[in-house]
Structure 1
Amino acid sequence: MVRDMIREHRNNVWVVRTGYCGQQETTCLERGFISFDPNLHVMDLFGNELMDMKQRPQSYKRYLHFGDKYRDFDQKFRKEFEDAIKDIDYSADRPEMMKKMQRLNGKLKKFDEEVKQFDATMRKFDEFERKEQMKKALLTRLSSPPMAMLDTWAKDMMHFVTDIKTYDIVLLPIMCEKRVAVGRVREPYQYREGKGILSHSRRVDWHDTRVPFENMFFGFDDILKSESLITLLEGDDREFGLGIVVDNTF
């Protein structure tokens, strides 16, 4: 009877990916929502820039300038040290040598303080430069994103806001635990300002939250690798999703 009711109602079945790290999925399950975060798409624009930033030493400019400063000091200090010990009478009480050594020791301490100040300044400079590089990349990429990515963004947003209907079935992959949660949509799209990861969301009644990935239909892995975050299931895949609902008397 339940199977017939569901088939007659012709509910759609959707796979909705809400995040990558698990926090967003967990919040959805605990609060009874399904959410959509367009920012997940934005990160894909900066793959090359982020990898370049990751591989480049964060303090490369600082060490570059520090090396020049150290070499300059080392050359001057070596010459001054050689001059200081030249023509010293080692048989005497060596007061002259002691004074020169104290003066050189003072120079070392002063240089150490200069290096610390220089290091702090260059650290701020490196941070500022990295931030400016990222801002430049943001402006460049966001002003002209690839058309294919714009199509994906538009389609996902349209699906989440208007195409997913009340009573539709949603399958939420819990990526970090390799399981799927199954729920039924209970209200239209809502924008809730200031609600963080639930700002763009729809209320959902979650039922079975522990369906293993390996128990899903053939091709489910391909959906998880898709550029789209929201996928409408059709044919046998849709029937499989409805079958989960029926088998659990949802």
Structure 2
Amino acid sequence: MTVRCKHVDVNIQSRSIIRDISLDVATGEFVGVVGPNGSGKTTLLKSLYQEKLLSSGSVYIHDKPTSIIRVKDLAKEMAVLMQEHDENYDFSLEEMVMMGRSPHKRLFEGDSREDVECMNNSLQSVGLWERRRQPYSQLSGGEKQRVLIARALTQQPSILLLDEPTNHLDIHHQLQLLDMIKGFQLTTVAALHDLNLAARVCDRIIVMHNGSVVTQGSPRKVLTEDILKSVFRVNAQIVEHPVNKLQITFLGAVD
């Protein structure tokens, strides 16, 4: 397993945020984490790379506990894109993406030919190489997300952690971004808000509620009408779809 959690608890100011989380993520698997607001999705993601956040339990990366992995070495294996990022950086796309090379460099070390090649390849992979000298601040929301993904790729990670990567994007850019990420074939754990998108892209889905894992498995197994009613408090109709696996139609909120 590439990522493994064993009985992870996170308490913040005496409040239990997530409780007894155990899960495995296989190499190359795309795992979605879904749940209502406040269910613990973001905290679960943070617990995978912030060892000091854990109140109890253990997280393993390639069978090695994160408690003994240096931060710089962890950044070589795992790239993280969380929601809270400044969208007004006064840097070019090249400069933004090159920041991802920092785990591979010594203090004050200049950019090597390998660094430049990696940066160029990452920008090409997200379709923005020709605009590499453009200011990041001038990009649209979808383009900024693609740059941040490129920056993550320059770390040359084996694992991607993404918190609501399609937040604030229109449906075209949501589909484009998730299909692009899926195409990288990296081990990916992503908190997702849109259940239809999760059903479309995820190999496996973890459903969280009140800080705990309710169920996990394939989209067909876990995105059921009963789960949607009990966890998300909505009535829904689910139809099998030959392309997108499932199509969820929301009928109304449960009082």
- With normalisation by structure 2, the TM-score equals 0.22
The higher-RCO structure (CA 8 Å, 6+ apart) is 1
In terms of fraction of residues, the more helix-rich structure is 1
* Structure that is richer in strand per residue: 2
Higher-Rg structure is 1
TM-score where L is the length of structure 1: 0.22
